[in-house]
């Protein structure tokens, strides 16, 4: 994929990373004088052109999608992956499921598909949008949105069986002619929608996308003035690539230049968090307990306190490649009890549930983040 109209997009950059020389895999990050080395396990790796762009889990079942219509599925929480029948030759960029059977996929060239059997088969949806969609969210009610290039917003009311382009008039909404690429979105339990994109853009809708209000947009002149005043919360023009919420109030969004923003009021206001470097961040994950991760261009950041403090981790297989998306799986581990010489069971059998976080990206890689 190529940059759009000379404006840098996250997915375009991820594709472009393949042409860059590989970074050292033996580097260690410094955090308060200590070397922090990433611990991750490679679960899958393919060819350099076999790129994965998204990953999704519902319990122990997971899906990963990418170039050339490829779809992978795991039924053991991400430990093993099987290839499903692909969808044409298009690049699949985002996937979302509401349960283990019903889900949707969007991608390039207007690709929109839905499944009702966990991905064994996919049906092409009806859609009037021919462009590139970067992300998608659907809800139990059947309502959902996908966002994409040049400000595209498309809507479904029937679990992804059909889609309608509802892109707003950006001159009227944002008082500008340029239509920002939109990269991610969130739909909360009350139906409030937030979309995130280019130029530090954050929009909100409370009526399923019929009307929109601007919560945030970049201003390059204001940034210069704020830098002179040493204002950490200056609104720049970085692209915002990924968002996560742990409830209706508290969320985080990541983007270019190591940018991480945090809200505690449903997106009304956003505070800039201090980060250890200025790498490009493509995705963020946060647990309800405050453990989180941000990943992107050969970089991984972790937090254990809801993002109040972020620390960088480096080393193979993190700093060698780029990663596009993360998701948490659920693995069921069964350990048989031991028996003594008489054949009597001396220790009981145990079943535990592990909840690892996985990341996907370059060369069809799926890695498990162990630290």
In a domain, 340, yes or no: no
In a domain, 346, yes or no: no
Run means of pLDDT, 10 residues per run, the chain, 371 residues: 39 40 32 65 92 96 97 95 91 98 98 97 97 98 98 98 97 92 97 97 98 88 52 77 98 97 97 94 97 95 96 88 94 62 60 80 95 67
* Per-residue pLDDT reduced to its tens digit, 12-24: 444 433 333 333 2
Distance of CA 48 to the CA centre of its chain: 21
Torsion sign (Cα): 4, 8, 9, 15: positive
CB 281 within 8 A of CB 324: no
Q: What is the pLDDT of residue 360?
A: 98
User: Could you write out the DSSP letters of every residue in 103-125?
Assistant: EEEEESTT-EEEESSTTSS-EEP
How would you write 174-209 as a 3-class SS string? HCCCCCCCEEEEEECCCCCEEEEEHHHEEEEECCCC
Q: What is the pLDDT of residue 218?
A: 86
Which residues does 217 contact at the CB level (< 8 Å), separation at least 6? 174, 180, 199, 200, 201, 202, 235
Q: What is the pLDDT of residue 49?
A: 85
Q: What is the pLDDT of residue 21?
A: 32
Q: What is the pLDDT of residue 26?
A: 28
Which residues does 186 contact at the CB level (< 8 Å), separation at least 6? 137, 193, 194, 243, 244, 245, 251
* Per-residue pLDDT reduced to its tens digit, 101-123: 999 999 999 999 999 999 999 99
In a domain, 53, yes or no: yes
Rounded CA-CA distance 139/143 in Å is 6
CB 89 within 8 A of CB 108: no
In a domain, 333, yes or no: no
CB 59 within 8 A of CB 328: no
Tokens standing for 303? 């937090």
Secondary structure element (H or E) that encloses residue 228, with its range: helix 220-228
Q: What is the pLDDT of residue 364?
A: 96
CA angle in degrees (0–180, nearest 5) for 45-50-52: 80
Which residues does 79 contact at the CB level (< 8 Å), separation at least 6? 43, 331
CA angle in degrees (0–180, nearest 5) for 242-236-166: 50
Rounded CA-CA distance 41/30 in Å is 22
Domain span at residue 150 reads 10-304+313-328
Q: Give the length of the chain.
A: 371
* Per-residue pLDDT reduced to its tens digit, 221-274: 555 555 554 555 667 789 999 999 999 999 999 999 999 999 999 999 999 999
When divided into structural domains, the chain yields a total of 1
Q: What is the pLDDT of residue 198?
A: 95
CA angle in degrees (0–180, nearest 5) for 180-186-187: 125
Residue 262, domain CATH: 2.130.10.10
Number of Cβ within 10 Å of residue 11's Cβ equals 27
Tokens standing for 125? 């949806």
Number of Cβ within 10 Å of residue 105's Cβ equals 30
In a domain, 357, yes or no: no
In a domain, 3, yes or no: no
CA atoms within 13 A on the CB side of 333: 11
Predicted TM-score of the model (pTM): 0.86
In a domain, 5, yes or no: no
In a domain, 355, yes or no: no
């Amino acid at each position: 994929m190529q940059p759009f109209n000379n404006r840098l997009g996250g997915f375009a950059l991820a594709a472009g990373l393949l042409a860059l020389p590989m970074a050292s895999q033996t580097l260690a990050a410094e955090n308060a004088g200590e070397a922090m080395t990433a611990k991750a396990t490679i679960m899958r790796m393919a060819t350099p052109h076999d790129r994965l762009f998204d990953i999704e889990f519902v319990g122990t079942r997971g899906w990963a999608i990418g170039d050339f219509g490829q779809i992978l599925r795991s039924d053991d929480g991400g430990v093993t992956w099987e290839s499903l029948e692909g969808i044409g030759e298009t690049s699949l960029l985002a996937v979302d499921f509401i349960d283990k059977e019903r889900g949707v996929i969007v991608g390039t060239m207007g690709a929109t598909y839905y499944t009702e059997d966990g991905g064994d088969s996919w049906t092409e949806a009806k859609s009037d949008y021919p462009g590139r969609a970067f992300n998608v969210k659907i809800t139990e009610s059947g309502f959902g949105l996908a966002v994409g290039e040049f400000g595209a917003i498309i809507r479904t009311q029937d679990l992804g069986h059909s889609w309608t382009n509802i892109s707003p008039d950006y001159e009227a909404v944002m008082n500008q002619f340029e239509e920002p690429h939109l990269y991610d979105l969130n739909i909360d339990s009350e139906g409030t929608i937030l979309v995130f994109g280019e130029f530090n853009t954050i929009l909100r809708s409370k009526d399923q996308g019929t009307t929109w209000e601007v919560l945030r947009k970049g201003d390059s002149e204001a940034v210069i003035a704020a830098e002179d005043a040493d204002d950490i919360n200056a609104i720049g023009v970085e692209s915002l690539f990924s968002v996560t919420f742990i409830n209706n109030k508290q969320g985080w969004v990541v983007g270019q230049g190591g940018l991480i923003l945090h809200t505690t009021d449903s997106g009304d206001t956003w505070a800039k968090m201090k980060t250890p470097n200025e790498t490009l961040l493509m995705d963020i994950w946060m647990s309800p307990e405050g453990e989180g991760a941000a990943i992107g261009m050969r970089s991984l950041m972790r937090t254990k306190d809801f993002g109040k403090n972020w620390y960088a981790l480096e080393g193979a297989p993190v700093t060698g490649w780029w990663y596009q998306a993360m998701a948490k799986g659920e693995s069921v581990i069964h350990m048989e009890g031991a028996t003594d010489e008489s054949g009597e069971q001396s220790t009981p059998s145990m079943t535990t549930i592990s909840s690892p976080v996985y990341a996907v990206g370059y060369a069809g890689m799926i890695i498990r983040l162990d630290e």
